[in-house]
Structure 1
Amino acid sequence: MDSADSSFPPAAHAPAWLPAAIRPAVDALLYSSVLVAAAAASLTASTGLFWQQPLSPRLGLFVFAATLFLYNLDSILPYKYAQPALLSARKRWMLAHRRILLALALLSLACAGWLFVAGLSWHLLAFLGHLAAVSVFYSLPVVRWRQRWRSLREVPLLKGFLIAYVWAAVSVWLPALHLGKALADPVVLILFGRRFLFILALTFVFDIRDYTKDRLSGTRTFPGVFGIRAAQVLALLALLGAALLVPPGLTGAPLGVFTLPLVLAALVVIFARETRSDYYYALLADAVMLGPWLTACWLPG
C-alpha cells in the first residue's frame, strides 16, 4: 500500500443489521445509481404533484433513464480509478462491475433517447441540451487551469453548485416547461430556489464522505477548504434558506408536511462523518431525496 492509500481512513463495513444474503442485491441497487435515478424521477414528479398536475409517466421515465446514464457514465470514467483512494466498498464494487455499469449506461441512454423521441416535445431539446453539456463536462476535461485540462468538478468550490443547478433544473424547470409554465413565474422561481438549496446541502454531505479523497486528488470542495464542521454549518444554512422559500398560500399543516424533507436532510447533515458506512450515504443521503415526492402525495388537493 502506497503512502496515499495509507492516509485514507479505514473503509467502513456494511451495517450489522443488513442480512448477508441480500447484501449483493442491495449493493447492486445502491452502487449502480438506480436509487439516485429514482430520486431524480421522484423529485420531478413531486413538482407536478405540487401543482396538482400529474406529469406524463414518460417524462419521469426519461429523467430516470437519463440520470442512470449520466451517473454510470461518470462511474466508469478512467479518472475514477486513477485517484489514490480506492478502499471504500462502493469503489470496489464499481471497479468489479465496470462492464455491467457500461452496459447499463448504454441501455439507459438508448431508453432515454427513445422516450424523448416517442413522447416528449422537441421544444425541450435546447433546454435539455445545456443540462447534458454541463453534466458531461462535469467529469470530462474542458477547462485549462494551471497548465493542464480539468473537468468542471475540479474548479475550486464549483462542484456542489453545478450538481444543485442541474438537479433543480431537471426537477423543477423541466416539469414547468412540460406543463407550459413560465420559468420566470414567482412560484416556479421559489420552487427552483428551494430545490437548489436542498440539493446543495446534500452535496456537502457527499463532499464530507469524499473529504480525504478530494484532498489527495486536488479537488477543492467546501469541506476541503473550510473544514468539515464549517461545511455542515453551510449545509444547514442552505436548508434554512430553503425552508424560508415558501410558495404563496402554503400554511399550517401542509407547510409542515412540505418542510419535513428539509428536516430529514438536516439530520443527515448533522450526523455525516467521513468514516460513516457507504450505506449511510448511498441509502440515507440518497433516499432523503425521495422525501419531496412522498410529502407532495400527502398535501391536500
Structure 2
Amino acid sequence: MPDPKSIFLSRIIRQCADFLLFSNIFIALCAVAQALVTYRLLGVKPAQHVLALLFCSTLALYNFSMLLSKPTAPKKSPFRRVRWIFGHYRVMVTLTIIAVISLVPLTLFLSVSSLILLSFLAVVAIAYNLPLFSINEKRFGLRNIPGLKLFLIALIWSLSCVLVPIVETTAQHVINVSAADTILLVGKRFLFIAAITVPFDIRDLFQDRYHNLKTIPVMLGEKKAYLFCQLLLAAYIVLLFLFTREFDGNFWGLTLTIILSGWLILKSSIRKNEYYYFFYLDGTMILQFLAVALCSWLFRFI
C-alpha cells in the first residue's frame, strides 16, 4: 500500500510544478536566463531592468496567447496544461495584469533604441496571435502563414534576448558590439531557439493538421522535422567553432548545451508527456546559462 506521506508529497510537488510551468513563470525565467547568457558572452554586468522587463513581457505575452486561444471545452482538453490554465483562470488573468502593469515603470529605464525595438517585437508578437489579416473573408494571424510560425518564434526570442541587451548596453556606453558580432550572436541564438521549438510542433502534429496550421512538421513530416532540428543545431556548432576566438568556458558551456539539446530532441516524441517539453526542452534555455557559468568558473582553475 502506498505511503500516504509520499502520496501527499508527490501531489504537492506536482502542484508546484504545474504552477511553475503552466502559469508561464518558467518560460519567463527562460527568457531571463537567455538574456544572462548574452550578458555573459559580452562580458558585461546584466542590466536588472532589462531582465525584469524580459520576464514580465514574456509572462504577459505567453499568458495572453493562451487566454486568447481558449478552446470550447477546456476541461475536456487532452492537454494537462490547457486544463490547468482554464481551471485557474483568475490566477492567470491576475498574473497577466501584474506583468503588464509592471512593464510600465520598467520601460522608463530603457533607451529610445530599445523602446523602438521592443515596440516592434510587441507588434509582431501580437500579430502572431491575433487574427488581424483576412483573405476571402477568412481571418488569420501570422502563425497561420505556412512555415512562418517557427521563424517568428525564433526571431522574437533571439531579438529579445540578444539584441535588446546589446542595444541597451551600447546605449549606456558600457560596450560597443560590432555589427558582425551582433549578427553572429543573434544568428546562433535563432538556430538554438528554432531547434528546441520544432519538437513542440511535432507533438502537436495531428492537431495542427486538423486545424490546417502549416508548421514545419506538418510540411516535412515527423522524421524530417527531427532531422531539421539536428541540422539547425549542427549549424550552430559550425558557427561556434568557426567564429570562436578562444576555447574558453563559454565555448564549452554552449557546446555541451547544444549536444544535450540534440539528445533531448531525439528522445522527444508525440507520446512524451507535457512535462518533458515544458521542463526539459524549454529548460535547456536555463541550462545554457548554468552550463556557461559553471564551465567559466571551472576554467578559472585550469
One fold, TM greater than 0.5?
A: yes
Counterparts of residues 141-180 of structure 1 (less than 5 Å): 141-180=131-170
Q: For each residue in 1:60-95, what CA deviation from the matched residue of structure 2 results, as whole angstroms up to 9, or x when unmatched? A: 111001100000000101x34149982111111112
Q: 1:114 to 1:210 in 2, by over 3 A?
A: same
Deviation at 1:244, TM superposition (A): 1.2
3-state SS in 2 of match to 1:112: helix
1:42 aligns with 2:59: no
1:105 aligns with 2:101: no
1:285 aligns with 2:281: yes
Once the two structures are overlaid, the 10-residue window that deviates more, 40-49 or 254-263, is 254-263
1:64 aligns with 2:55: yes
Q: Identify unmatched segments of 5+ residues in structure 2.
A: 1-6
Deviation at 1:255, TM superposition (A): 2.5
User: In the alignment, which residue of structure 2 is the partner of 1:88?
Assistant: 79
Deviation at 1:294, TM superposition (A): 1.3
3-state SS in 1 of match to 2:21: helix
Query: C-alpha separation between the residues in 1 aligned to 2:232 and 2:36?
Result: 23
Deviation at 1:248, TM superposition (A): 3.5
Deviation at 1:211, TM superposition (A): 1.3
1:255 aligns with 2:251: yes
Query: C-alpha separation between the residues in 1 aligned to 2:73 and 2:88?
Result: 18
3-state SS in 2 of match to 1:149: strand
Deviation at 1:184, TM superposition (A): 5.8
3-state SS in 1 of match to 2:59: helix
Query: C-alpha separation between the residues in 2 aligned to 1:175 and 1:244?
Result: 24
1:133 aligns with 2:127: no
1:191 aligns with 2:177: no
User: In the alignment, which residue of structure 2 is the partner of 1:274?
Assistant: 270
Contact 1:193 1:245 in 2 (8 A): no
Q: 1:106 to 1:123 in 2, by over 3 A?
A: same
User: In the alignment, which residue of structure 1 is the partner of 2:235?
Assistant: 241
Deviation at 1:252, TM superposition (A): 6.2
> Runs in 1 of length 4+ with deviation above 6 angstroms?
none
User: In the alignment, which residue of structure 2 is the partner of 1:264?
Assistant: 260
CA-based RMSD: 2.1
Deviation at 1:239, TM superposition (A): 0.6
Q: 1:53 to 1:253 in 2, by over 3 A?
A: closer
Q: Which amino acid aligns with 2:100?
A: L
Query: C-alpha separation between the residues in 1 aligned to 2:176 and 2:44?
Result: 15
1:205 aligns with 2:199: yes
1:222 aligns with 2:216: yes
Q: Which amino acid aligns with 2:209?
A: R
Q: For each residue in 1:142-177, what CA deviation from the matched residue of structure 2 results, as whole angstroms up to 9, or x when unmatched? A: 222353110111111110100000000011111110
Query: C-alpha separation between the residues in 2 aligned to 1:196 and 1:153?
Result: 17
Q: 1:123 to 1:19 in 2, by over 3 A?
A: same
Query: Taking every aligned residue pair, what percent have the same amino acid on both sides?
Result: 28
Q: Identify unmatched segments of 5+ residues in structure 1.
A: 1-15
Deviation at 1:183, TM superposition (A): 7.2
1:296 aligns with 2:292: yes
Q: 1:253 to 1:25 in 2, by over 3 A?
A: closer
Query: C-alpha separation between the residues in 2 aligned to 1:67 and 1:107?
Result: 12
Q: 1:230 to 1:160 in 2, by over 3 A?
A: same
Contact 1:208 1:272 in 2 (8 A): no
Contact 1:187 1:248 in 2 (8 A): no
Deviation at 1:263, TM superposition (A): 1.0
> Normalising to structure 1: TM-score of the pair?
0.88
> Normalising to structure 2: TM-score of the pair?
0.88
